[in-house]
Structures are given as structure tokens and as C-alpha cells.
Amino acid sequence: MSWKDLVRRVDPYVPGEQPTEQHIIKLNTNENPYPPAPGVQEILRDMDAGQLRLYPDPAAGLLTEKLAAEYRVKKEQVFVGVGSDDVLAMSFLTFFNGSAPLLFPDVSYSFYEVWAECFRIPYRKIPLTEDWRIDPKDYETENGGIVFPNPNAPTGIALPIGDIRKILDANRDVVVIVDEAYVDFGAESALPLLAEYDNLLIVQTFSKSRSMAGIRIGFAIGNEELIRCLSDVRYSFNSYTMNRPSILAGTAALEDRTYFEKTVGKIINTRDSVRDELEEMGFVCLDSSTNFLFVTHPDIPAAELFRILRGKGIYVRYFALPRIDNYLRITIGTAKQMQVLLDTLRLILREKS
């Protein structure tokens, strides 16, 4: 036997490209096109670098308390991690250890399958309906837990809170994770349900609506016992997951509600106007409550459009996966960036007609 026979092998998650060329219009990884709140920039500029010789607070108390105040919960109900991916991975490791399968949508965040494979969690993918929606009735079956994004990604479609309640009512004995990475762009959060369901865990991120993908802050809110279990696993894995600059910057971001709402509003307005123009060009756009659009065109294959746009310095996301291999996911950038995209698409369509 060789050491190679003992290696855990999985098919890894493939993130969107991060091009290094200048003047690229980058609409492929759902980053916020606007800078973080001014207070975040001030914190990073003025921070005493001498503090970096010290370990950070393992509980990230400053940030945890600010999140608890912002979302009107107890600090004991909040867990923070290095991006929502870290929080979700810890949650998979903590809560999904039974023999029954974990359930999640077949068209969804592809990291769910990767974590399930990596942690050897049995799982089953539940097909979305023909109109790309989650049907709560499909989750009324034996399982060892449930996770789904709301709004879903990459479709962008939000699940009404009444349907989330139906899923919870049918699954009171397992942990149900609602991944709300994009919730600030138009969906209804499941936070009001926390008082009724002790098995509900809500996960959010600073990467999208708070313009801090490069800082890596995610958090979970749930029942105090759920959070204690999650913390025990985290401290068994790495006691210092959240670095000092992230704790300070994240706290500063939460202090500027006005900037947050203004930035999110700009993205929503741009998204809706771009959708109207794309539909005028013949594109089919799914309903979106996110900072991206999921689109297809009846006359040009998505893979071809992806290649043409990339050649012109415009990066969008293409998934060569079943059911969605004729769709593109387009992040909402600035109004100027989106106008370049629209003008380029019009030119492509004219050349193809």
C-alpha cells in the first residue's frame, strides 16, 4: 500500500475565473461593483499593524455582538466564520452525521455536493420544478438534513417564507439550513421563523451586499444550542478562524446602514433595468432576487455567447452542467459596465442575424 491509497479524493468546487488582465469587465463571480462602506476603508487604513502580532479574539466578540444587535438576537445565537463557505462547511461537519441522506436542490450552489463528498455525508439532489422553483412537498421525505439557498443560485429565484415554513414543519427532527447569501437583494429572510423552529440555521455573508468578498466574513444565526454545537466543532478544528482586521472591518460595515441600503438599491435598480433591455433583445431571464441574472437566448447557445463575450473582455459565468448548460449567469456591475455588456450583446445579435 502507498500513501496515495490513503488520500481522500473529491472533485473540488470550481470557482469563477479571477482574471489579472487590466480593463476586464468582470461579471462572473457576483462581487459587488461598489467599494465597502467608508468606515471599513478607514479601519483598514488606520489599523495599528502592531496588533497583528497578537492572536485575534477566538469568539470574534466585537463582531458577534454587533451582528446580534443588527439582527435583534442574542449574541449566543450568532456564529462567525471566514466567509459563508467556512460557516457552511462547519455546519455540514457538525449537523449532518446520520445515515439518512442530506437533501438539497439539483440546481443549486455546487459546493454542497463537494462538502457532502468530502465529509462522506450521504446526500440526494432534489430536482427543481420545470419553472426552476423549489417545491416544499419534495422535501417531505426521510432525510438527515436539508440545505438550500434562498434566493437560489444560480437561478436567482426566491422561495416565499410560507414555503420555507412548510419545509420546516415537515422536518422538525433534522437541521434545516437556509443559505441567504443573496437575501438582501430582494428576498424575504427566514429570520422571523427562528423563534418557532429550534432546528433552523440561517447563514449569510458580507461578500455580496456589503462589498467585502476579499475580507471573508460569513455568519450563522440560530438556536443557542445549535450555535454551541457549531462552536464546539470550530474550536476542535481551528480556534482562530477570524482574523483581527476582518473583525474590525466587519464591525465597521455594520455601523453604516445608510451606505448599505444605498448600494443595494443601486444594484437592484440596475438589475431590473438590465433585465428589461435583455428581454427586449429576445433573452429569457428568470426572476431574480439577487445581484445577478440567469439568462438564455433562443438563437445563440450559451456556450458560444460565453466564448464571444470572453474574447471581448467581458467575463460572465457559464456552467456546463445538466439542465443549465444553455444559460449564462451575469453579475450586476455598475451602470456603465452593464451598458457596455448590453451594447456588446446587441452587436453580437446583429452579427448573428
Per residue in 251-262, pLDDT (tens digit) is 999 999 999 999
Please state, in angstroms and as integers, the Cα–Cα distance from residue 171 to each residue in 146, 165, 174, 273, 328, following that order: 9, 10, 6, 39, 34
CB 185 within 8 A of CB 271: yes
Structural domains present in the chain: 3-35+258-352 (3.90.1150.10), 47-256 (3.40.640.10)
Relative orientation angle of helices 111-118 and 83-95, to the nearest 10 degrees: 40
Please count the helices (runs of H) and the strands (runs of E) in the chain: 10, 13
Span 200-212, pLDDT tens digits: 999 999 999 999 9
pLDDT in tens, 209-242: 999 999 999 999 999 999 999 999 999 988 878 9
Report how far apart the first and last C-alpha atoms of the chain are (Å, whole number).
61
Nine cell digits for residue 320: 456546463
Residues 327 and 297 sit within 8 Å (Cβ to Cβ):
no
Q: What is the pLDDT of residue 304?
A: 97
265 CB burial (10 A radius; 0-12, 13-18, 19+): exposed
The arithmetic mean of pLDDT across residues 26-40, rounded, is 97
Q: What is the mean pLDDT of residues 40-69?
A: 92
Contacts of 120 (CB under 8 A, 6+ apart): none
Amino acid at 95: F
Peptide linkage before 122 cis (omega within 30 of 0): no
- In this prediction, residue 230 carries a pLDDT of 96
Q: Is 295 helix (H, G, I), strand (E, B) or coil?
A: strand
Looking at every residue in the chain, the average pLDDT score rounds to 95
CA distance 32 to 43: 20
Residues 296-326 have pLDDT tens digits of 999 999 999 999 999 999 999 999 999 999 9
43-68 per-residue burial string, b: 16 or more CB within 10 A, e: under 16: beeeeeeeeeeeebeebbeebbebbb
